[in-house]
Amino acid sequence: MIRHGGFRLVVIGLFLSTLPLFGALYRSNSLGQMLEAIETSQRHDFPYVLETNEIPGQGAERVLYDNGVMVGKVEIEADAKNPATRIVTEYSFGADGAISSKVQTLYEHGLPQSTAWMEGETVNLTLHTYVDGKMVETKELVDGELVNLITYYRGSDGMLSGLRIVGLEGIATQTIYSQDRGVSVYGENIQGAFTKLSFYPGNLVVRDVWTNEERNVETAVAFDDAGRLVIDETIGTMRIRKTYGPDGMLVKSESEDADGKKTTIAYVYDHNGVLDQSMELVVGEHTRRIERWYKNGLLETQTEWLDDSPVKATRYLADGTSVVTLFDNGRPYADVTYAPDGKRVLSLEYRKER
């Protein structure tokens, strides 16, 4: 409902700035835009035609035709006593020619003051308040009752820096915008749940989320001695550090859980930026290492080690099956072939002692 009214407000505003004062025909589209002026003889050469007319002493109107059938009309009423005031009424018509919708907007000095429209038997009204020509508040009413109250906050330069939305059920949303040293920050607070997005150069986005005064996600961004981007992220009790190369590729991921178990994954790429190999190291009561090799970015082989002894090696075949070699005390003893789903065993072969 609210989006509906806002869209019409934009369309009418564009119309106010482009409507000529003299009668004319234009080739148009379904949105009623003026694409090019045409002659009367060309009226039936295009599916959409826009006709504009001046109403002496009253204002002007614009009528949109779809294959000769009127589908929309906009009327502008001038106020002889107050030249700065305009009333713009937009009509849409159904296939039977009856009015399917009517939206009326009051403008003063080119700024929309109110917009009213009907949805069935429901009356919708949007009211705007300005200070020094800048919108500071919007009220949205349904059948005379307030359903949304939007407050706009502006910085010293007059630019929008935040807004607050109080909805029908009393749920308040606060949104902030800021920019500091090339970093744009967007924040939204809904009933104590706060989300902060920081947009860094190079398409880097950092997200922080927390509830009330307890942060669920906390992020710090810095650069290491090699000039690589380093992001430290805390999610609950989990701490994660990610290091990115100058090309934006992730080169290392380090994490530590509440029990002190540390996991480090290092990534190596080919000259085209395609993943070539990675090594995962998990340090806890025992040390577990997983080495993975890729071909054209797809996992080809993987070997798992426990305290420097191999325990399992996997080869991923082109047909989707995989062959897992099991080890005992560092020596292979069986090969298990799995179906593409990774669950069904197709074959089991034990290795004989040489």
pLDDT (tens place) for every residue of the chain, 354 residues total: 333 333 233 334 344 444 444 568 999 888 888 888 998 888 889 999 999 888 766 788 889 999 989 999 999 888 777 778 889 999 999 888 889 899 999 998 889 999 999 988 999 999 999 988 888 888 888 888 878 888 887 777 777 777 777 676 656 676 777 776 667 777 877 767 777 777 766 666 666 766 665 666 667 777 788 878 788 888 778 888 988 887 778 899 999 888 888 999 999 999 878 899 999 999 988 999 999 999 988 899 999 999 989 999 999 999 999 999 999 999 999 999 999 998 999 999 998 764
Q: Which pLDDT score, from 0 to 100, does residue 279 have?
A: 97
Q: Which pLDDT score, from 0 to 100, does residue 310 have?
A: 95
Cβ-based neighbours of 189, under 8 Å, separated by 6 or more? 172, 173, 174, 175, 195
Alpha-carbon distance values, 276 to 17, 268, 293 (Å): 57, 6, 6
Q: Which pLDDT score, from 0 to 100, does residue 188 have?
A: 77
Q: Domain 122-215 - what CATH class? A: mainly beta
Q: Which pLDDT score, from 0 to 100, does residue 12 have?
A: 42
Q: Which pLDDT score, from 0 to 100, does residue 181 have?
A: 63
Q: Which pLDDT score, from 0 to 100, does residue 180 have?
A: 64
Residue with the two structure tokens 């927390």: 210
Q: Which pLDDT score, from 0 to 100, does residue 11 have?
A: 39
Q: Which pLDDT score, from 0 to 100, does residue 144 have?
A: 85
H/E stretch holding 117 reads: strand 111-119
* Structure tokens belonging to residue 134: 């800048």
H/E stretch holding 145 reads: strand 145-154
| Inter-residue long-range contacts of 30-39, CB under 8 Å, 24+ positions, other chains counted | 30/66, 32/62, 32/64, 32/72, 32/74
Q: Which pLDDT score, from 0 to 100, does residue 22 have?
A: 53
Q: Where are the domains of the chain?
A: 1-120, 122-215
